[in-house]
Chain A
Amino acid sequence: MPVLVIAEHEAGELKSATLNTVTAAKAMGDEVHVLVAGKGCSGVADAAKAVDGVAKVLVAEDDALENQLAETFAPLIVKLASDYSHVVVPATTFGKNVLPRAAALLDVQQISDVMAVESPDTFVRPIYAGNALATVQSSDSVKLITVRTTAFPAAGSGGNAAVETVDGAGASAEGAEFVGRELSRSERPELTSARVIVSGGRGMGSGENFSILEALADKLGAAVGASRAAVDAGFVPNDYQVGQTGKVVAPELYIAVGISGAIQHLAGMKDSKVIVAINKDEEAPIFQIADYGLVGDLFKIVPELTDAIGK
């Protein structure tokens, strides 16, 4: 049986997390289908059909699907699931919100945050903020899975899948009503797919001071992230948070500035290829995992670094 990937999309564009999810799905079965559900999503369907390794794109459109509420998505997934061995979504806030609701309706124990596929029924997933890895085997007839996108490379392009329309009508929102969305606008790359990330912590002292990180990020073409302490203090919006309960990232280069390195923060960035830590406390735990540590005052070091990189 084929594997069904639920596409994540926003404002008519396929989100890159879907591409990593397709790669994970390929390891679960030999044929991958992608469901594009929403309203007015022909552009997303076109993008999905060009993804390498996708055999078929299912398009379900309905007014009730427009805002991608779990209440309307879950019944649609339930309706389609019987034709598939696995239903797979990225472990983003979208996937985490929608899939468990469908799993309960199917009487299936979902497997969250899969980072390796050992066999079609056996998976590796992190527990305890990534301080342990559990290998689990599922006995459910259909497997519902959220994928840790940083653990799988993005699928390439060059595919030409068949597109099929499926009936998306009929689901009730069960008392949920979408009111609005306030999305952070940024010219910078998205955190979860950026090649370089510059992250600030409580040591930044204020939101204004993040401007020195932004100057560095501009030089590097980097995304800007933060620790929970920086978000809680109101320096930056919530969607900057990296960690166990924020975003999981794995860029080529992660520069942690004024971040102590609590396990909950490390859980979200320790799979980065190269880690740089800038901290005035030479005992800060972040130095234990940093490839390159620089002890000193960030307000002096960061501007110097920005200058030096331009040279």
Chain B
Amino acid sequence: MKVLVAVKRVIDYNVKVRVKSDKTGVETANVKMSMNPFDEIAVEEAVRLKEAGKADEIVAVSMGVTQCQETLRTAFAMGADRGIHVLTDAELQPLAVAKLLKAIIDEEKPDLVILGKQAIDDDSNQTGQMLAGLLGWPQGTFASKLDVGDGSLQVTREIDGGLETEKLTMPAIITTDLRLNEPRYASLPNIMKAKRKPIDQKAPEDYGVDIAPRLKTLKVTEPPKREGGVKVGSVDELVEKLRNEAGVI
């Protein structure tokens, strides 16, 4: 079984992002970048499938600027076998990413594709579902448990009211939720080995896909700041304030 994972390079989740003063976006100069946390979970799941003898090859795909290669190397150090980098400096919106992934999947023919449920920069939560639609494949989104069998899989999904289970025939699309697994730290030997794993470099034009953004960002602004309040000294004071000042109890 071949597994394909999509890994996005994003601002590290620990960074407090700042809006640029010209309102065109957020500050990315000298900011730490990492693999999207949900995509780490996707890679980890694929590696576990390989370790369990269920998968024999893991292909990682990343799209964007030159440095996406570092993101692919991170995936390699965790256990992915090879990479495809679609190099572009252009803004990629989820529909364009889904179309490029579809073109890659048409060539690679994986049995299972794992993406993150959401990229923590654009917070779109769209790409996996779009890709499933374009391919006409079943989708198991927000997965917290995956049980891969022969030709089909069972997926437990985190939904607002609790959990839902579905059975999907493969090929299928999975998007990861936080509790699917806990990604490993790469060991030093594996980081060294990752340097030798191959990356196939491509351009959007190679796939004949129109990636022009459909959404135009008119401005990016800071959300209204919440005024810090007061510290109260006792429970009685808190209750008094909630009752008489805030009027919420």
Contacts and interface: CB of A to CB of B under 8 A. Distances in A.
Pairs A-B, 9 closest by C-beta atoms: A109-B214, A291-B229, A104-B130, A100-B129, A175-B169, A176-B138, A104-B133, A101-B133, A100-B126
Interface in B106-153: 117-118, 120-134, 136-142, 144
Contacts of A301: 235
Interface in B75-130: 93-95, 98, 117-118, 120-130
A10 B132 CA distance: 25
Chain B interface category by residue count = 35 or more
Contacts of A134: 217, 219-220
Given A100-B129, A101-B130, A132-B17, A182 B163 contact: yes
A132 B222 contact: yes
B165 A179 contact: yes
A102 B98 CA distance: 13
B225 to A, nearest CB: 9
B102 to A, nearest CB: 9
Most chain A CB atoms below 10 A, which of B94, B129, B154? B129
Interface stretch (B52-60, B61-69, B195-203, B240-248): B240-248
A112 B215 contact: no
Interface string A160-188: 00000000000001111111111110000
B215 A290 contact: no
Nearest to A264: B13
A220 B249 contact: yes
Interface in B168-211: 168-169, 172, 177-179
A180 B165 contact: yes
Contacts of B164: 178, 180-182
18 contacts: A74-B133, A93-B157, A94-B160, A96-B125, A98-B129, A100-B94, A104-B98, A110-B130, A127-B123, A128-B11, A131-B223, A181-B159, A182-B165, A245-B117, A247-B160, A292-B246, A293-B230, A308-B235
B218 interface: yes
Contact of A245 (B122, B169, B178, B239): B178
A113 interface: yes
A126 B162 contact: no
A238 B222 contact: no
A294 to B, nearest CB: 6
Contact of B160 (A104, A105, A136, A192): A192
A301 B94 CA distance: 46
Nearest to B175: A97
A293 B229 contact: yes
Given A112-B125, A127-B121, A232 B178 contact: yes
A289 B228 contact: yes
Contact of A101 (B118, B139, B221): B139
Given A102-B133, A128-B121, A305-B238, A109 B95 contact: yes
A55 interface: no
Interface of B: 11, 13, 16-17, 19, 26, 93-95, 98, 117-118, 120-134, 136-142, 144, 154, 157-169, 172, 177-179, 213-223, 226, 228-232, 234-236, 238-239, 241-242, 246, 248-249
Q: How large is the interface on A (under 10, 10 to 19, 20 to 34, 35 or more residues)?
A: 35 or more
A109 B154 CA distance: 30
Contact of B137 (A100, A174, A239, A263): A174
Contact of A177 (B137, B167, B230): B167
Given A108-B95, A112-B124, A174-B136, A238 B144 contact: yes
A45 B122 CA distance: 35
B133 A97 contact: no
Contact of B162 (A96, A184, A263): A184
A61 interface: no
A293 B232 contact: yes
Nearest to B99: A104
A305 B239 contact: yes
A282 B88 CA distance: 46
Contact of A309 (B117, B218, B249): B249
A293 B229 CA distance: 8
Contacts of A105: 133-134
Nearest to B98: A104
* B11, B154, B220, B223: most-surrounded residue (chain A CB, <10 A): B223
A69 to B, nearest CB: 8
Interface stretch (A18-26, A35-43, A80-88, A270-278): A270-278
A237 B11 contact: no
A126 B223 CA distance: 9
A198 B236 CA distance: 18
B120 A128 contact: yes
A288 B41 CA distance: 31
